[in-house]
Amino acid sequence: MCGIVGYTGSLNATPILIEGLETLAYRGYDSAGIAVWDGEDILMRKQKGQLKNLRDILEKDPISGYCGIGHTRWATHGEPSYINSHPHGDTKKQLVLVHNGIIENYVKLKAMLREKGCEFVSDTDTEVVAQLLGDVYHGEPIEAITEAMRLIEGSFALAILFRDDPYRIYCVCKDSPMVVGFGKDGAHIASDIPAMLAYTRDVTFMGDKQIAVLSPEGIAFFDEFGTPIDKGSTHIDWDLDAAKKGSYEHFMMKEICEEPVAFRKTAEQYVNFRSLKLKADCFPWAEEDASAVKRIRILGCGTAYHAGLLGKKYFSELAKIPTEADIASEFRYSGYVFEEGEVLMVVSQSGETADTIAAMRMAKKAGVRTVAICNVIGSTIAREADDVLFTYAGPEIAVAATKSYLTQAAVFLLAALRLGEVRGTVEEGRVRGMIEELALLPDRMQSLIDKREKIQYFASREFSAKHVFFIGRGIDSALAYEAALKLKEVSYIHSEAYAAGELKHGTIALIEKGTLVIGLVTQPALAAKTESNIEEVRVRGAKVLALTNGEMPEVDSHCAAVWRFERTGELLAPFCAIIPLQLFAYYMAVQKGCSVDKPRNLAKSVTVE
Ligand code: AGP
C-alpha cells in the first residue's frame, strides 16, 4: 500500500521525508516522490522504482526547505511510471498533494473537470483529486477541502501543500489511515507510526473526514465542516530498534525469532502465570453478560483469517459456542443477517485492512457487538471496535505475517478459555493445566528456532519444487492454510492447503512422482487417519515431509523427512508447529533469491478493497 509522510518545522524537510519513506517501504511500492517548499516555490522530485532512484535524482538535483510531503506509490490506477508517481498538482499550480486510497468516482469527476479546462497529465485517480481541489480552491484551504470531500467517493488519505500558504501541511483522511505528531523540531504526518518515531512518540490518529493543519508551531484539528475540534494524543512506547532489522538479514527471520517473546508478552497481558489464573477484567465477557453471547463470527483476511480458523476451533472446543470464521472480503457482500446474541470478532495485525474494517462497520450498523484482535494501538479497527484484545507482538515489518499470527492465535485461545470458564464449559482444573502448558511454550518455540538449520538444509534440496501440498485434519487443516500462504507469498511457489480426508475427492489426481507433500500430524485423535492419507499420496509418488509431535512408526520410514517437536495438548500444537512451517517458507524464498521482506505485488497492509 502507498505510504505518505510530511514534515514542517525547523529542520530541512528533504532528509526527514526520505527517511520516513524508507521506514514505510515495507508497505510495498513501485515509485516514490517528494515535494518541498524551498522558500519561493514548491519543488518536486519523483521517480519510478525503488527509493534509491529518488535518492539518486536528489543527489544530482537537490531540493531543500522546511516544509514538504512525500509518497511511496503502490499502483492502483495507472501503471508504475514517472508521470503517475506522486506528488500530483493542479493545472493552475496552486497546490500539490499525495494520496493513499482509491477514488471510486474519479472517472465522473475527471470528465467534469476536463469540461472546465483542466489538463490531465497522468492516469491516476490522485491527480483528479488535485485538480478538483484546484477547481474549488479560492484562497481558503479548509473550505476547499470540505467542498472536495463532499464530491469525492471512495477512500483517501491526503497531505496537501498550498502554494500561497507555505509552511503548512493540510491533511485529511477517510477509510485510509493517517497519523500526525508534534515533536521538538516540528509537526509530522505519516501513514503509519514507525515513520515518525524518531521525532515524536506522542501521536494522534486521524478520524474519518477530520482535517489536521500542521505548522511549525503545532497541529490544529477541524471536523468535516471546518469547525475546530480537540483531539488527544497516544504515547507510543515501541522501541525504535523493533522497527529495524538489526543483525538479521531479513525482517521475516527477525520476527520469527521474536515469536517466543511476542507470545510471552501477549499471554502475560491476559494470564497471571503465578496464580495460574486468567485476568478476568481483560476480557469482554464478564460473568453477567457472557450468557448473552449465543454465537461468534470471526472475520479477517489472509493470515489474520487463518488465525481466525484456529479461533473457531478454540471457541467451539472450549466455550462450546457455535462459531464461524469467514473471509472479510466475501462476508461484507454476503448479505448475511446477524442473529440475536451474535458477537463479531475481527482480527487484523495492522487494524487498517479495508475489507475487515468494512465488515466491522457493517456489523456495528446492525447493532452487533464487535470485538477486535489487533496489534496496532490507535488503528482504525482498534478505535472503532466495541472491545479490543491487543496482541503485543511489536511492530511487524515483513509483509509476511509471522509473530502476529502466533499472538492472534494466543489471544483467541485465551479469550475462548475465559468464555468457557465463565460459561462453565471449562472447569478450573483444565484452565490451570492449560496455563501451565502455555508457560512452557516459549522455550519449546525457541528450541525449534535454534534447530532451524535442518529446515534450511531441507529447503536447499527442495526449493525448485513447482507445487507443494500441505495436508492435515482438524486443527492441522487450519494450520495448513497458513503454511501454504506463507510459502506462496514469499517464495512464489504454488502451494495448496488441503483437508487430508478431502484429497481422495479429486485433488489426489494432481499427485505425481516427486510432488512435495507436507503432512501435518499434531492431533493424536486424527493421527492414524492422516497417516493413511500420507501413505495414499506416497504410494502415488509423492515426496512426503511429515511434521508431527507424536510417533508414526508406519510412516516414519517412508517419509523423505520427519520434523518432530515435543507433544503439547492438541489445542496448543499450532504454537509450535507453525514455527518450522514459517522457517520452511523463509528458507525456500531465500534459496530462490526472492525479495523476502517485500514480495512482489504485495503490501503489508491492504488499505484498499
Ligand atoms: C500475510 O502474510 C499477509 N501479510 C496478508 O495475508 C495479511 O495477513 C492480510 O493482508 C491481513 O492483514 P491484517 O492482519 O493487517 O489485517
Does residue 122's CB lie within 6 angstroms of at least one atom of ligand 1? no
Contact (CB, 8 A) for 277 and 268: no
Helix ranges (DSSP H) in 366-402: 380-384
Please tell me whether residue 55 adopts helix, strand or coil conformation. Answer: helix
Instruction: Give dist(CA 283, CA 297) in Å, integer.
Output: 17
Please tell me whether residue 7 adopts helix, strand or coil conformation. Answer: strand
Does residue 484's CB lie within 6 angstroms of at least one atom of ligand 1? no
pLDDT of residue 261: 96
Helix ranges (DSSP H) in 463-570: 475-491, 524-538, 553-556
Contact (CB, 8 A) for 201 and 131: no
Instruction: Write out 127-192 in H/E/C secondary structure.
Output: HHHHHHHHHHCCCCHHHHHHHHHHHCCECEEEEEEECCCCCCEEEEEECCCCEEEEECCEEEEECC
Does residue 357's CB lie within 6 angstroms of at least one atom of ligand 1? no
pTM for the complete prediction?
A: 0.80
Instruction: Give dist(CA 578, CA 262) in Å, integer.
Output: 14
* DSSP bridge pairs for 210: none
Burial environment of residue 469 by CB neighbours within 10 A (0 to 12, 13 to 18, 19 or more) = buried
Average of pLDDT values for 207-226? Answer: 95
| Active centre residues (catalytic) | 2, 604
Does residue 356's CB lie within 6 angstroms of at least one atom of ligand 1? yes
Q: Which of 31, 71, 50 is nearest to 176 (CA)?
A: 71
Model confidence at 221, pLDDT cuts 50, 70, 90, reads: very high
- Nearest residue (CA) to ligand 1, atom 8: 303
pLDDT of residue 348: 98
What pLDDT digit, counting tens, does each position of 339-370 carry?
999 999 999 999 999 999 999 999 999 999 99
Model confidence at 75, pLDDT cuts 50, 70, 90, reads: confident
pLDDT at 122 over 80: yes
Does residue 127's CB lie within 6 angstroms of at least one atom of ligand 1? no
Max mean pLDDT among 153-157, 495-499, 562-566 falls in 495-499
- Nearest residue (CA) to ligand 1, atom 5: 302
Does residue 302's CB lie within 6 angstroms of at least one atom of ligand 1? yes
Task: Tell me how far the alpha carbon of residue 304 lies from the centroid of ligand 1, in angstroms.
Answer: 6
pLDDT at 210 over 90: yes
Q: What is the DSSP string of 545-588?
A: EEEESS--HHHHTTSSEEEE-----GGGHHHHHHHHHHHHHHHH
For residue 399, the ligand 1 atom closest to its alpha carbon is 4
pLDDT of residue 500: 95
Task: Tell me how far the alpha carbon of residue 370 lies from the centroid of ligand 1, in angstroms.
Answer: 20
Instruction: Give dist(CA 90, CA 132) in Å, integer.
Output: 8
pLDDT of residue 604: 83
pLDDT at 268 over 80: yes
For residue 401, the ligand 1 atom closest to its alpha carbon is 2
pLDDT of residue 180: 96
